[in-house]
Chain A
Amino acid sequence: MAKTVSPGVLALRKVVEDVYADARTAKAEGKLVGWSSSKFPCELAEAFDLNVMYPENQAAGIAANRDGEIMCKAAEDLGFDNDICGYARISLAYAAGKRASRKLDLETGEYVIDPTSGKPLKDENGNVVIDPETGKPKKDPKTMQPYTVIDDIHEIEALPEGREKELRKAAIKPYRQMQMPQPDFVLCCNNICNCMTKWYENIARMCNIPLIMIDIPYNNTVEVADTNVAYIRSQFDAAIKQLEELTGKKFDEKKFEHACANANRTAQNWLKVCDYLQYKPAPMSGFDLFNHMADVVTARGKTEAADAFELLEQDLEENIKNGTSTLPFPEQYRVMFEGIPCWPKLPNLFKPLKENGVNVTAVVYAPAFGFVYNNMDEMVRAYCKAPNSVCIEQGVDWREGICKANKVDGVLVHYNRSCKPWSGYMAEMQRRFTADLGIPCAGFDGDQADPRNFNEAQYMTRVQGLVEAMEANKTLKEGEDK
C-alpha cells in the first residue's frame, strides 16, 4: 500500500522548504541570517524580522540524507572528539565550511560514480538481471550515485573565477540542509542540552560572529523557582538589547505579540495533532511526528506553521471518520518511542516495527514542545521545560501521561550515544514505567546522527523481544480478566 501524502503533510513540508528558501534569499540580498538552537525563544528573533536557521534540524536532515558519518568525521578531523553529540559534530563541520560533495573528475567535469551504489537492475518481467561475469546482480545505472567526498567552501571561494570554481560549487549536494547559508549571528538557549553552550561558542569563534546566549538553569523541582524566572527574564531583556544593536532596529512589540500568538497557535495545534494518537487504531503513524518536529522547531512563530498543523488536524479528523490511517500496516501493538530516532537508519528502525505491526503512538516531543503561555513570565516558564532541563519526576510524569492517554503496550528506548543527559536517566525511567504502568520496556543502542553507533542485528533482537513480551503481557492480562 503506497503511503498517502495528505494536504496537511504537504503544507508542513512547504513551510520548512520556505524557511530555508527565505534564508537563502535573505543571504543573497546581504541581509542577516542567524543560527539558533531549537528551543531558543524564537519570538524574540521574529520581532526583528530576522531569518533564522536551526542546526539541530539541519543535522537531522543531513543524517537522514546519509551524510552524517562523513560530516562527523570531518568534525573529528578538525579536532572534535567522537564522543561529542552527532548533531554538534555535523553542525561544527558545516560551520567550518565543510560540505558533503559529489566526487568530481575535474578533467571531464563529470561525477565519479561509486560502483557499489544503486539498486539491482530488473528486466521487463521485474526479475533481477544477473551479470554473467560476476554471477552477481547488475546495477541499475539510473540509481547509481557518485562517491561522497568532503569539500570546503572557503577553499572554493578562494579559487579564481572559472571552471573549477563553478564545478566544485555545483558538486556540493543540492538538498536544502547542505545549502544552508552560513551564519551572521548565533542564538543559543541551553534548555535543550548543555553541550549546546560550547557548540555555539565554537561556531561564534570559528565564524567570528556575535553569540546571544540565554542560560536556563536545570530544574531540580517540578515548579520553576521565581528566582530562576527573574534570572531568565533579565537575560531576555539583554538579548533584546543585543538584537537591537545587531539589527539597528528597535524591538517591535506588535511583531513580538504576533509571533507569540502564532507560537501559541502552533503549540495548540501540535498538541491536537499528537492527541489523535489516542485513537485505537491510530489514524497515523506516530513516527511521522518526528518529521513534523521540523515545523515545530523552525517555524513555530510563523502563521504558516500554525495553519499547516490545523490542516493536518483536519486530515486526521477525516481519517477517523473514514476509518483510515497513514500507517502502512495494521496496528497490532502500540509503543512509546523514547528519544530521537537514528536518522541515518530510519528504514532499518522502521522495518521490524512494520513487520510486527508496531505503531509508535507516543513520543515525548508532544508534551515537551506543546507549550502555551499568556504573558512574558509564563513564556519564561515555558522555555524552562525541555526534555533535558527538567527533573526526573517531571520527565516521568510527561511520559506516563502520554503512555496512558495513548494506550501503549510497551516502550522502546533509544540509548542515544549522542545524548548522554537524555540516555543517562532512561534506565531509571524504564524501571518506573514498568513499575507504574505494568508494561515491558526494551532499550537499544544507537545514535541520532552517527550511523557507526547503531547495530541492526542487536536492534532487531530487542524489538522482537519487546513484541514477544507485549504478547505475553496481553495473554496474562486476558487470563486475569477472564
Chain B
Amino acid sequence: MSIYTLGIDIGSTASKCVMLADGKEIVSKSLISVGAGTSGPQRAIAEVLEKANMTKEDMAYVLATGYGRNSLEEIADHQMSELSCHAKGASFLFPEVHTVIDIGGQDVKVLQIENGVMTNFVMNDKCAAGTGRFLDVMARVLEVKVDDLGMLGARSTKRVAISSTCTVFAESEVISQLAQDTDKCDIINGIHHSVAARVAGLAHRVGVKDLVVMTGGVAQNAGVVGALEEELGHTIHTSPLTQYNGALGAALFAYQRYLKEQK
C-alpha cells in the first residue's frame, strides 16, 4: 500500500497543496488564489483531498510551509521554512540544480543548493520591488491581467526604462509613460527588466551557478524569465509545476520525516 504525504504551502497571496504517493508520484494538487489569514488554506486542503478522494486520516504525514505555516498546527505534523521546501522541490524536479530563484507574492529568495540541500540563501529586504506584488500593481495600472504580462511584453519593439526600484514610485513612472502614449507592451517589457535587475542584484550576493531554476508564480511569466536570463547570463529552467514547488518540497520532506519516524 502506498504512503501518502501532504505538503501545504501558505504564501502571502496563494495557498497551494501537493499530495504525494511514496514520496515520488504526485497524486493531486490544489491552488487557491488567497493566502495566509484567509479561507484559502482550508479550501486548498479540502480541494486536494477531494480530488484524490481521500481524507486527512489517509495522510501519513502533513508538513506546512510558507508565511502561514504556523497557523496550521491542527493539521500539520511539522512546519519548515519555505526556503528549504523550495530547495527540496526544485531538486526533485531538476536534480542538477545549484541555484533556485523564487519570486513569490512578497518575497524574492535566491537559494544555493549543494547535493540537493540548501546551504545558503538570500532574501529581499522590506521592499515589494521585484516581487509578484510589484507585477500585480503594475498590471492593475496598465489595466491588463497579470497572467497576460508575459505575452504582452513579448510584443514589445523597444524597451522603456522603468528606472525606479520602488513599487509606489514605479507606479507613478508607469502612469506618466501612459500619459505620453507609450505602447503598453513596451512599458511591460521595461517592467520585466526592472524586476530582473532587482532580482539579479540579489542573486549575485549569494552567487549564481548552473543549473539555475526559477520557481514561484512569476516563473510563469516568460518576459521576466527572459529578462533575468539576460541579466544573469545563465539559462533559466522552469517547470509547469512552478507554483506548486514549495508545496511539493513540503510533501517530499513530509515523506522523509515519516520514514525517519518509522525507524
Interface residue ranges, A against B (CB under 8 Å): 415, 427, 430-431, 434, 440-443, 445, 453, 455, 457-458, 461-462, 464-465, 468-469, 472-473, 475-476
CA distance A476 to B87 in the complex (A): 15
Bound CA span A465–B82, Å? 8
Q: Specify which of B81, B114, B207 is in contact with A461 (CB 8 Å cutoff).
A: B81
Of the candidates A434, A441, A464, A475, the one whose C-beta lies within 8 Å of that of B117 is A475
A–B pairs, 19, beta carbons within 8 Å? A430-B122, A431-B205, A431-B207, A434-B120, A440-B121, A442-B121, A442-B123, A461-B82, A461-B123, A465-B118, A465-B121, A465-B123, A468-B80, A468-B81, A472-B118, A472-B119, A473-B119, A475-B117, A476-B119
A453 to B82 CA separation, bound complex (whole angstroms): 23
We find that the number of chain B residues with CB closer than 8 angstroms to chain A is 20
| Complex CA–CA separation, A475 to B117 (angstroms) | 10
Bitwise interface map of B from 105 to 138 toward A, beta carbon under 8 Å scored 1, else 0: 0000000001101111111011000000000000
* A469 lies within 8 A of B119 (CB): yes
Please report the C-alpha to C-alpha distance between residue A465 and residue B114 in the assembled complex, in whole angstroms: 15
Asked whether, in the complex, the Cβ of B82 is within 8 Å of the Cβ of A440, the reply is no
Which chain B residues have a beta carbon within 8 Å of chain A's beta carbons?
67, 80-84, 114-115, 117-123, 125-126, 205-207
Interface of A is mostly: helix
Closest to B207 in A: A431
- B205 contacts A469, CB within 8 Å? no
Instruction: Point out the residues of chain A lying under 8 angstroms from B67, CB to CB.
Output: 457, 461
Collect the chain B residues with CB atoms within 8 Å of residue A440's CB.
119-121
A116–B206 alpha-carbon span in the complex (Å): 43
Given contacts A445-B125, A453-B126, 20 further A-B contacts (CB under 8 A): A427-B205, A430-B205, A431-B207, A440-B121, A443-B123, A443-B125, A445-B126, A457-B67, A458-B123, A458-B126, A461-B81, A461-B82, A461-B83, A464-B83, A465-B81, A465-B118, A465-B123, A472-B84, A472-B119, A476-B114
Closest to B202 in A: A427
Chain B residues within an 8 Å CB radius of A461? 67, 81-83, 123
A441 contact set on B, CB distance < 8 A: 120
A476 with B126, Cβ < 8 A, contacts A427-B205, A465-B84, A468-B83 known? no
- With contacts A427-B205, A431-B207, A468-B80 known, is A462 near B123, CB below 8 A? yes
Q: A415 and B81: CB pair below 8 A?
A: no
Q: Are B123 and A476 in contact (CB under 8 A)?
A: no
CB distance from A187 to the nearest CB of B (A): 35
